[in-house]
Structure 1
Amino acid sequence: MLILENHVTNTTSLSLNHYLYHGIKLFKASNFELTRYIRKACNDNPLMHMDEGKIPLEVLSYHHSSQADSIMDELLMHFNCCLSSPDKEIMHTLLYSLNSSGFLETFPKEVSKVLRIPVNKVNENIDRLKSYENLGIGCLDAKEFLEFQLRLKDEYDEACFSLFFEHLDDIHQGQYGFLDDTPMDINTFEDYMEVIKNCSLSPLMPDTNVFIEPDAHIETTADRTLKIKLSDYLMDDIIFEPIHLRTDDPAFNETITRYKQEYEELLSIVNARTLYLKQILSVIIHVQKEYLLQEKDYLNPLNQTELADQTGLSPATISRLMTDKYISTPRGVLPIRALLSKKVTGNISASFVRYMISHTENFRTISDSRIAEQLKQYDIHISRRTVNKYKNELLSGL
């Protein structure tokens, strides 16, 4: 079993002291939060700094934004304060799925499916995101964003709006013959086009940085294997510059020793976090390879206890490392927890049971007992009540 105390002792010759125990909370931190913590540690330790030449440009530009507070800082702080745990996880997933223009790059049904929550809960949080300072962040595309702005100004006209998008090519060529088949006159339509032209095409300006870095990336190679790429630049980024100065001042020497010890302890935490996270992800991609490659639409059974058994890490460490962690996959950005699925019966996952129920003909209308009987032919032996539970989850996401 990989024990944190052994790792720290072997790499730094330090004991696992109070500072390091306190630092274990960094296992819960996202890369963004960890980078902030390291920056503060560097500010407090004059012999330690971050080598920004090793930081990816997109990360560097985000943390060095000319704005006092970036929009993403505001969003994270706002929703972390005002939302409870279930809604917070939904919101984090949505924020990680935004592109640079502020559009959502995933559909509510996909988020519902991944997080196994009703789609109406996803839509509630999308509405919260759009309503933040009425910016419209979280719209799916320019059309939805234009409609959002027009409704906000109380200038939305469904007939004009629909005609505008149905005949964009004709409008571009200055041809308005399509109005002949409608009760709308050219002047009214041109006035409405001016209203649309006064709207923005995206929630955020191109130079607004909304980058949130996933904690890891799973990439597909040419031979259809999966490769883990951790956002581990922080391991080589923390630099210590010792002072080679002889002095008989005990207080000065003690301070220098403390600065070096703080550096070594912080480096140990960052290295252990990276090492453990890679172990967890290695197990996950091995078990869920077919799902990640989109060869099948359900997960194999895997839970935190099994992860602990296969990695040698404690369940508490597994839990910390999976808290608020997101990973970029061929299926999009997902919470790492979304790649786990508990066993329901035998070696069959809850994800597979949901998949089979959803692919049962007329599952929305036939009885739960009948579904349970049909599932037995696939060696899925579950009660009518369990069928009802998963069926309701599926229906709430449709």
Structure 2
Amino acid sequence: MLKQSLQQKLLQKLSPLQIQVIKLLEIPTAQLEQRIKEEMEVNPVLEYAGDSPSSSDDYGDEPETPENDVEKEEFSIDDYIQNDDIPSYKLQSRNYSRDDKHEDIPFSNGTTFHEFLIDQLGLRIMTDRQRSIADYIIGNIDEDGYLRREIDEIVDDLAFSQNMEIDEKEALEVLEVIHDFDPPGVGARDLQECLILQMKRRSQEARSAENAYLILKNHFEEFTRKHYDKIARRLHLDDDELKDAIDEILKLNPKPGGSYSNPMSKTVQHIMPDFILEVEDGQFQLSLNGRNLPELRVSHTYSEMLTDYQSNKKNQSKDQKEAVMFVKQKLDSAKWFIDAIRQRQNTLMTVMEAILEYQKDYFIEGDEMMLHPMILKDIADKTDLDISTISRVSNSKYIQTHFGIFPLKYFFSEGLQTDSGEEVSTREIKKILEECISNEDKKRPLTDDKLALILKEKSYNIARRTVAKYREQLNIPVARLRKEL
């Protein structure tokens, strides 16, 4: 049975400008230039402010120069309709623009990791069947040098994809051949096998290498947990013998594929700061990084064209009217985009200035211990902006200071009170933890309970589980795994 009901909903609709601002706030400076170029490619009304002398203002109307008159006379709305919004440079034989992004094709320097393995395969005496199996296995080895697929899965894959019926024994025999390839450890299915394959080639070199092989082969779990006392008892090793064996293991490469690197394939990520901060006589000089950010404006030519055709509506054809509506939409879109860029810059400055004021002592000295507890709501209250806006601004943004480049997220941290009632940043607690652990006796590393006692002596009343949480956030392992011989 159908029923009708009346529901009342409160919906918030965002304007095109608001949507643009929200999207642009999330983009760091390093990506903003590309975003501007993408917008210019789809909207011919947008242009660089320095492209022509038609206007010095985004929306202003300066007196026309003779050049503008020529440009107006040469521009025809009929041409605009016929070309179906295809930029003119796309119709030329050299169909590129100076605004296009050109991807340089890197030249190859030597062979890739997988080609290196295939070359070694060619040096082995194998049947065509074995070579096909080996070729498939090599194709499943990842860039770290590991075979991540199970043997039974490879057997099934060969049956379905190449109609080749093999059993696991035959696949393992071929894998053993690959295990003899360089770099040592290639084709391993887990870390233990990877290290064992490498140590096999060294086990005859010295007594320490032989002991290292036995540790990896028979006591790997104890080794990963650093239960060195158990290993020494079971293998009847004294302290020096155990230390020499562990040193041999630490020389091994846990990612053999990474050792075969092509320098041309490596990419280096450079951080482009969004803000630049200079301190002069205790005063902040904050600026936005304007590098690679062109100044935009609405094309004066299109604005004039729209004005001319709107004043002559009676004599327009249907196509011309549609073209006028299209240009009007593009003009509106261009103005929204320019306004959104401006609002983005203003919002970024507003938020960063509030952070500077909140963390003034830190930015003058650069001492991490001077960072005050600060959460997103603190800055939202100071700027009268929404917390989500503060989050978008602080995400993926960087500031360049006289003591380094930092992500904005770095300056946000929760706080807690000391025994004296003073509120301190959790970052200060983490700094003390790092110092305690870096100065500990590695033969007897500090447990979380001992770390909690040390902090309590310094007036930081923190529970052991909180110490454990901060230690994990610092990517520091438990005391047992920090133990050294």
- Report the TM range for the smaller structure's normalisation: 0.5 to 0.7
Q: CA deviation at 1:238?
A: 0.8
Contact 2:351 2:383 in 1 (8 A): yes
The one-letter code sitting in structure 2 at the alignment partner of 1:275 is N
Paired amino acid for 2:296: I
Map residues 213-252 of structure 1 onto 2, 5 A cutoff. 213-218=272-277, 220-232=278-290, 237-242=295-300, 243=302, 244-245=304-305, 246-247=308-309, 248=313, 249=316, 250-252=321-323
Secondary structure, counterpart of 1:341 in structure 2: coil
Compared CA separation, residues 366 and 323, structure 1 to 2 (3 A): closer
* Residue of structure 2 equivalent to 1:286: 357
Choose which of 250, 264, 269 in structure 1 pairs with 2:335: 264
Deviation of 1:341 after TM superposition, in Å, equals: 1.4
CA contact (8 A) 2:25 2:344 kept: yes
Q: Is 2:373 the counterpart of 1:301?
A: yes
Give the drift of 1:262: 0.9
One-letter identity of the residue aligned with 2:461: H
Write the mapping of 1:69-108 to structure 2, written as runs, cut at 5 A. Answer: none
**Cα RMSD between the aligned structures?**
4.4
Call closer, same or farther: CA 1:357–1:20 in 2, change over 3 Å: closer
Determine the structure 2 residue equivalent to 1:389: 469
**Conserved 8 A contact 2:20-2:336:** no
SS of equivalent to 2:286? strand
Contact 1:325 1:336 in 2 (8 A): yes
Structure 1's 265 and 129: CA in aligned 2 closer, same or farther, altered over 3 A?
A: farther
Equivalent-residue separation in structure 2 for 1:212 and 1:363 (angstroms): 34
Match of 2:392 among 297, 312, 320: 320
The whole-number CA distance in structure 1 between the counterparts of 2:106 and 2:398 is 20
Task: Tell me the residue number matched to 1:21.
Answer: 19
Give the direction of change, closer, same or farther, for the CA distance of 1:68–1:52 in structure 2 (3 Å limit): farther
Distance change (3 Å), C-alpha of 1:70 and 1:342: farther
Q: SS at 1:49's partner residue? A: strand
Shift of 1:315: 1.1
How far is 1:30 from its partner?
1.8
Number of residue pairs matched by the alignment: 258
Superposed displacement of residue 331, structure 1: 3.5
Select the residue among 29, 32, 35 that pairs with 1:31: 29
Q: Offset of 1:373 from its aligned partner?
A: 4.2
> How far is the alpha carbon of 1:348 from its aligned partner?
1.4
| d(CA) in 1 for partners of 2:268, 2:298 | 30
349, 356, 359: which is aligned to 2:425? Answer: 349
Give 1:210 shift.
Answer: 6.6
1:339 alignment partner, one of 411, 428, 433: 411
Corresponding letter in the other structure for 1:216: F
Judge conservation of contact 2:373–2:415 (CA < 8 Å) in 1: yes
Letter in 2 for 1:339: F
Matching residue's letter, 1:259: K
CA shift for structure 1 position 51: 4.0
Give structure 2 stretches of 5+ with no counterpart.
1-12, 52-97, 108-141, 146-181, 185-261
Sort the Cα spacing of 1:70 and 1:325 in 2 relative to 1 into closer, same or farther, 3 A. Answer: farther
Rounded to whole Å, the distance in 1 between the matches of 2:465 and 2:34 is: 47
Distance apart, 1:52 and its partner CA:
6.4
1:327 and 1:130 map into 2 onto residues whose CA distance is: 34
Structure of higher RCO (CA pairs closer than 8 Å, 6+ residues apart)? 1
Q: CA deviation at 1:270?
A: 0.9
Residue pair 1:372, 1:387 contacting (<8 A) in 2 also:
yes
Separation (CA, whole Å) in 2 of partners of 1:28 and 1:69: 30
CA separation of 1:265 and 1:24: change in aligned 2, threshold 3 A: same
Matches of 2:350 and 2:325, distance apart in 1 = 37
Q: How far is 1:352 from its partner?
A: 0.9
Sequence identity (%): 21
Q: Structure 1's 68 and 23: CA in aligned 2 closer, same or farther, altered over 3 A?
A: farther
1:226/1:19 CA distance change after superposition, 3 Å:
closer
Contact 1:42 1:50 in 2 (8 A): no
Tell me the CA shift for residue 223 of structure 1: 2.0
Which residue of the partner structure matches residue 119 of structure 1? none
Contact 1:39 1:50 in 2 (8 A): no
CA deviation after TM superposition for structure 1 residue 230, in Å: 0.6
CA distance in 1, matches of 2:383, 2:143: 37
> Counterpart amino acid of 1:357?
L
Equivalent of residue 254 in structure 1, options 301, 312, 325: 325
User: Residues 149-183 of structure 1: CA distance to partner in whole angstroms, max 9, x if unpaired?
Assistant: xx989xxxxxxxxxxxxxxxxxxxxxxxxxxxxxx
CA distance in 2, matches of 1:351, 1:305: 18
Q: Distance in 1 between matches of 2:144 and 2:276?
A: 28
Mapped partners of 1:391, 1:303: distance in 2: 21
User: As a proportion of its length, which structure holds more helix?
Assistant: 1
Determine if contact 1:348/1:380 at 8 Å carries over to the other structure. no
Relative distance call for 1:221 and 1:293 in structure 2 (3 A) is closer
Instruction: Tell me the CA shift for residue 358 of structure 1.
Output: 3.6
Report the 3-state secondary structure (helix = DSSP H, G, I; strand = E; otherwise coil) of the residue aligned with 2:399.
strand
Q: 1:69 to 1:290 in 2, by over 3 A?
A: farther
| CA distance in structure 1 between the partners assigned to 2:270 and 2:471 by the alignment | 37
Task: Return the alpha-carbon distance in structure 2 between the equivalents of residues 373 and 337 of structure 1.
Answer: 30
Tell me, yes or no, if the aligned pair for 1:28 and 1:321 is still in contact at 8 Å.
Answer: yes
Partners of 1:270 and 1:39 in 2: how far apart? 13
Tell me the amino acid that sits aligned with residue 367 of structure 2: K
Match of 1:221, SS state, is: strand
Structure 1 residue 314, shift from structure 2 partner: 0.5
Question: For 2:368, what is the secondary structure of its paired residue?
Answer: coil
Q: What's the offset of the Cα at 1:350?
A: 0.7
Offset, 1:394: 4.8
Please, what TM-score do these two structures have when normalized by structure 1? Answer: 0.52
Distance 1:303 1:316, change over 3 A: same
